[in-house]
Amino acid sequence: MRLSKMYFRTLREVPNEAEIPSHIWLLRAGMIRKLVSGVYGFMPLGFRSVRKIEEIVRQEMDKKGSQEIHMSAIQPAELWKESGRWFAYGPEMWRLKDRNEREFCLGPTHEEIFTDIVRSEVSSYRQLPLNLYQIQTKYRDEARPRFGLMRSREFVMKDAYSFDRDREGLDKSYNVMYDAYEKIFTRCDLKFRAVEADTGAIGGNASHEFTALSEVGESEVAYCEKCELAATTERAACVDSICHEEELPLEIVLTPGTKTIADVSEYLNLREEQTIKALLFVTYDEKGEFAEYVAAFVRGDRELNMTKLVNALSIPEHAIEFADEVSMSAKTGCVGGFTGPIGLHDCKIVVDSELTKLKNLCAGACKVDHHILNVNYGRDYKGDIVTDIKLIKAGDPCPVCGTPVKIARGIEVGQVFKLGTKYSESMGAYYKDENMEDQLIVMGCYGIGITRTLAAIVEQHHDENGIIWPMSVAPYHVIVTVVKTSDEEQMKVAEKIYNELIDAGVEALIDDRDERAGVKFKDADILGIPLRITVGKKASEGIVEYKMRRDTEKIEMSVNEAIENAINVVKAEIN
Among 162, 339, 415, 534, binds ligand ATP (CB under 6 A): 415
- What is the per-residue burial (b if ≥16 Cβ within 10 Å, else e) of 121-131? ebeebeebbbb
β-strand pairing of 348-352 with 442-449 = unpaired
Among 142, 166, 171, 317, binds ligand ATP (CB under 6 A): 142
Q: Do the beta carbons of residue 417 and residue 204 sit within 8 Å?
A: yes
155 binds ligand ATP, rule: CB under 6 A: yes
- What is the per-residue burial (b if ≥16 Cβ within 10 Å, else e) of 306-328? bbbbbbbbebbbbbbeebeeeeb
- Give whichever of 202 and 389 is closer to ligand ATP, judged by the CB atom: 202
481 binds Mg ion, rule: CB under 5 A: no
What is the rounded CA–CA span in Å between residue 68 and residue 73? 15
Q: Do the beta carbons of residue 380 and residue 365 sit within 8 Å?
A: no
157 binds ligand ATP, rule: CB under 6 A: yes
Give the DSSP H/E element, type plus range, for residue 321: strand 320-322
Give which of 228, 229, 203 is closest to 417, Cα–Cα: 203
414 binds ligand ATP, rule: CB under 6 A: yes
Q: Fill in the per-residue mask, 172 to 211: x = in contact with ligand ATP (CB under 6 A), - = not in contact.
A: ----------------------------x-x---------
233 binds Mg ion, rule: CB under 5 A: no
- Give whichever of 83 and 415 is closer to Mg ion, judged by the CB atom: 415
293 binds ligand ATP, rule: CB under 6 A: no
What is the rounded CA–CA span in Å between residue 485 and residue 495? 11
Q: How far is the CB of 368 from ligand ATP (least distance, A)?
A: 40
Instruction: Give the range of 292-300, 327-335, 407-415, 558-566 binding ligand ATP by CB under 6 A.
Output: 407-415
Give which of 463, 456, 473, 475 is closest to 8, Cα–Cα: 475
Q: Which residues pair with 157 in a beta bridge?
A: 136, 449
- Give whichever of 157 and 372 is closer to ligand ATP, judged by the CB atom: 157
- Give whichever of 89 and 476 is closer to ligand ATP, judged by the CB atom: 89
Among 332, 415, 490, 534, binds Mg ion (CB under 5 A): 415
109 binds ligand ATP, rule: CB under 6 A: yes
Give which of 27, 63, 64 is closest to 43, Cα–Cα: 27
140 binds ligand ATP, rule: CB under 6 A: yes
**φ, ψ of residue 84 in degrees (nearest 5):** 90, 5
| Sites for ligand ATP among residues 435-464 (CB under 6 A) | 447, 449, 451-452
Q: Do the beta carbons of residue 373 and residue 250 sit within 8 Å?
A: yes
The residue with its CB nearest to Mg ion is 415
Binding site for Mg ion (CB under 5 A): 415
Point out which residues bind ligand ATP (CB under 6 A).
109, 140, 142, 151-152, 155, 157, 200, 202, 412-415, 447, 449, 451-452
